Homo-oligomer: A and B are copies of this chain.
Amino acid sequence: MNKTVVPAIETVMADIGRAACQAAHRLALVETSRKNAALVGAAAALRRSSAAVLAANARDVAAATAKGLSGALLDRLALDGKRVEAMAKGLEDIAALPDPIGTEIARWQRPNGLDIARVRVPIGVIGIIYESRPNVTADAGGLCLKSGNAAILRGGSESFQSSSAILACLQEGLSSAGLPPASIQMVPTTDRAAVGVMLRMNGVIDVIVPRGGRSLIERVIEESRIPLFQHLEGLCHTYVDGAADLTMARQVVLNAKMRRTGVCGATETLLVDRKVAASHLAPLVGDLLNAGCEVRGDVAAQAVDPRVKPAADEDWATEYLDAVISVKLVDGVDGAIAHIGQYGSHHTDSIITADPDAAARFFAEVDSAIVLHNASTQFADGGEFGMGAEIGISTGKLHARGPVGVEQLTSFKYVVRGSGQVRP
């Protein structure tokens, strides 16, 4: 590391932090219509500047290709006209969401006449650290703005040009609505040291949202002095119980794995009750194989089809994010709960059963943000929950658990109205 660079980064970050705090103070008090005008203005700017955004993205893609980045990474990085339009539409959708700020979550009177209200307020300054997807710049910036927070974005170095071009559109929207451009800022360097500085800006940044792979998350947990909305991996399970309807189980399992394999709510492990192995295992595994999914199974699963590969121990702990699934027989709902307790990531898990008692046990004992009965794990999504756009799915248990949308990006204060009360 270049020693002379570090103080410069710290100065840059301190300036960004100061500007963010000032912007946050303003955003906390601003009316809804102005925030919405900025979002709609940013969407218009994105559409107007589509060519510039795509040109910047082409430079990122060329550099990434030269560095030899893999196909999946390039696919996440690459933009086209459709993806730019989706970003613009996403910002308009956020503008259409109800504004959570200022709403009374609860209000009650005390016997002494004090009137106590719990009122939603912004969190303040939110730091988002992400990897190659440039659309996170627009999504995260828009969600923070709608919830009255200033955002400091730190994207992956591969998407730096794309994110900068998108940021310019967001700031154009802010300016057009009379809001400070510093409401959404980006760390203006790809130096990794900037992340370290950012993670120690407690007192300036109120929460860090890390979005990325395990190594990014682990670095953030280790170095951060700031609270996190942890989005760990989604090692999701679907358990087909002995009392499952086979037709329903086949439809749900196939959807849970194969609808989209790269999303965090995709099922990675299929657990089947040993009691129905004879009737259920072969059709479940066969559907997956026929849909082009690689199946890695225990001995029982291997026995039903020669295309099934043997699962190794690490398969039960692997989030494939690909057309691969691990399959295992378990002893009823207890076996499923134990397996998920050992290998799960507290994200999303589903039970397929016609037995309400088994479902109740699964709901109570599987310690995940989202537990489902007779539904696909792919419903793990803020939009599907009716919460609008989301910044991620939190696997932590504090503040935000599950989909993190505009409401989860808020805090609250207690507003107490009196008439001269003193405490005895």
Residues of chain A touching chain B, judged by Cβ–Cβ distance below 8 Å, are 28-29, 108, 110, 114, 116, 121, 123-124, 202, 206-207, 221-222, 225, 227-228, 245, 248, 251-252, 254-256, 259, 359, 363-365, 367-376, 378-379, 381, 384-386, 396-399, 401-402, 411-423
Contact = CB atoms under 8 A, between A and B. Distances in A.
Contact of A422 (B124, B255, B412, B420): B255
A415 B295 CA distance: 29
Contacts of A259: 422-423
A422 B124 CA distance: 38
| A245, A252, A254: residue with the most chain B Cβ atoms closer than 10 Å | A252
B385 A414 contact: yes
Contacts of A256: 422
Given A397-B206, A398-B398, A252 B416 contact: no
Contacts of A29: 364-365
A416 B108 contact: no
Given A116-B385, A202-B221, A386-B110, A255 B375 contact: no
A271 to B, nearest CB: 18
A412 B416 contact: no
A419 B251 CA distance: 11
Contacts of A384: 110, 114, 423
B371 A397 contact: no
Main secondary structure of the interface of A (DSSP, over half): mixed
Contacts of A396: 227
B415 A371 contact: yes
Given A207-B398, A385-B116, A401-B411, A417 B376 contact: no
8 shortest interchain CB distances as A-B pairs? A375-B418, A255-B422, A399-B399, A397-B411, A248-B420, A378-B423, A372-B416, A374-B418
Given A123-B398, A124-B367, A398-B398, 4 more contacts: A206-B397, A259-B423, A371-B416, A402-B414
15 contacts: A108-B386, A207-B397, A245-B420, A248-B420, A252-B422, A255-B423, A259-B423, A374-B418, A374-B421, A375-B417, A376-B422, A381-B423, A401-B411, A401-B412, A402-B413
Contact of A373 (B207, B386, B418): B418
A114 B418 contact: no
Contacts of A422: 251-252, 254-256, 259, 375-376, 378
A373 B255 contact: no
A375 B418 CA distance: 5
